[in-house]
Amino acid sequence: MKRREFITLLGGAAAGWPLSARAQQGSVMPRVGVLFGTAENDPEGRDRFDAFRQGLEKLGWMPGKNLRIEARWGGADLERMRTQAAELVRFKPDVLLAGATVSLVTLQQAAGDIPIVFAQVTDPVGAGFVTSLARPGGNITGFTQHEFAIGVKWLELLKELAPRIKHVAVIHHADNPASAGYLATITPAAPTLGVELAISGVRNSSDIERAIDAVAGRPDGGIIVLPGPTPSSGRDLIIALAERHRLPAVYAFRYWVLSGGLASYGIDNHELYRLAATYVDRILKGEKPADLPVQHATKFQLVINLKTAKALGLDPPITLLARTDEVIE
């Protein structure tokens, strides 16, 4: 993996500087640093990055002309991300983009007062990233993906797809501070749905294999995968193991189902990165993160892969299919 990726885009203004003041600096271009938790060769990570760049281009930040972007890819390695966050700060960016919670944590620790825009974070107030949604109050603002209560929806969806399920492995990134919020909503809901949970924090592929093998050894098993860098980076492995062990699984994002997963319910996360570009644009033109309200995702998608359902011996009820936004056959 390349340690540095330079994408040159041209002109604009740094955080807190009017465009006219920045122009007086001659050839100096505004700079944006980006930190993702996924690997550089991860297609989903590249799609998020592309969505962000497309959003900037629509606002007039054209490649090779008026902006420099430097991206880092953590590959689900927390220590690497901390090193990369420090590298991005040395790049002296005018704005930083954090791709999801783990990226935001590492950037917040390294950035000082550099403005940060996030694109995929749950409960930024509860996590202490901002003072309030309406008035963030510091150097951080952005776009939230959903509330933790969506975790109950994932469990309900799994039971609707496979009513016999009794044992569910909840797989999450062990270093993701957001995991506790999801688990706090899923855990008390499980008994009411007749489900026993096995909570599995993972950091690598071996952890993933152990978590899935454990639930595969019990009758009527299933899987819920929470958002986080390690599960996302290991999604091909998770999907393959779920298929091998004939375990129904529910995921947070559509790209899992496109890769062969059974079902997902969640936001259009690419749209959040396009929206994040609007806040980066406003900060580059002189606005402060403290004055830009945190915004919620508004578009949710229920996606089901009928081919995978058939392979698992499942027959999704008509009532479920009727409210599904996309059926993959």
Q: What is the pLDDT of residues 233-275, one digit of tens each?
A: 899 999 999 999 999 999 999 999 999 999 999 999 999 999 9
The total of other beta-carbon atoms located within 10 Å of residue 125's CB is 13
Tens digits of residue pLDDT in 314-323: 999 999 999 9
- Whole-angstrom Cα distance, residue 28 to residue 24? 9
Q: Please check the confidence at residue 222 and state whether its pLDDT lies above 90.
A: yes
Given a cut of 50, whether residue 213 has pLDDT beyond it is yes
Q: Is the pLDDT of residue 19 over 90?
A: no
Task: Please report, rounded to a whole number, the percentage of residues in the chain having pLDDT higher than 70.
Answer: 91
Query: 183 is written with which tokens?
Result: 């688990």
- Per CATH, 5-145+269-296 and 150-267+300-328 having the same topology is answered yes
What mean pLDDT do residues 33-59 have?
Answer: 94
pLDDT digits (tens, 9 = 90+) for 58-79: 999 986 789 999 999 999 899 9
pLDDT at 13: 33
What integer is the mean pLDDT of 107-113? 95
Burial 289-324 (b: 16+ CB within 10 A, else e): beebebbebeeebbbbbbebbeebebebeeeeeeeb
- What pLDDT is stored for residue 298 in this prediction? 85
**Separation CA 77–CA 119 (nearest Å):** 20
In the predicted structure, residue 3 carries a pLDDT above the cut 60: no
> Quick count: other Cβ atoms within 10 Å of Cβ 195?
19
* Domain at 5-145+269-296: CATH code: 3.40.50.2300
Looking at CATH, the fold of the domain delimited by 150-267+300-328 is given as Rossmann fold (3.40.50)
Give the gyration radius of the chain's Cα atoms.
Answer: 21
pLDDT at 7 over 60: no
pLDDT-based confidence at residue 294 (cuts at 50, 70, 90): very high
pLDDT tens per residue across span 123-160: 999 989 999 999 999 999 999 998 999 999 999 999 99
- For the cut 70, the answer to whether the pLDDT of residue 168 exceeds it is yes
Mean pLDDT of the chain: 90
Measured between alpha carbons, how far is 201 from 226 in angstroms, rounded to an integer? 10
SS3 state of residue 232: helix
Quick check: 26 pLDDT over 60?
no
**Nearest-angstrom CA–CA distance, 121 and 178:** 8
pLDDT tens for each residue of 171-210: 999 999 999 999 999 999 999 999 999 999 999 999 999 9
| pLDDT, position 64 | 76
Cα gap 82→74, rounded to integer Å:
9
Kindly list the domain boundaries of the chain, sorted by start residue: 5-145+269-296, 150-267+300-328
Flag whether pLDDT at 20 surpasses 80. Answer: no
- The model's pTM: 0.85
Which DSSP state fits 218?
S
The amino acid at 41:
N
- Tell me the angle at which helices 150-161 and 179-189 cross, rounded to the nearest 10 degrees: 50
* Contact of 63 with 8, CB cutoff 8 Å: yes
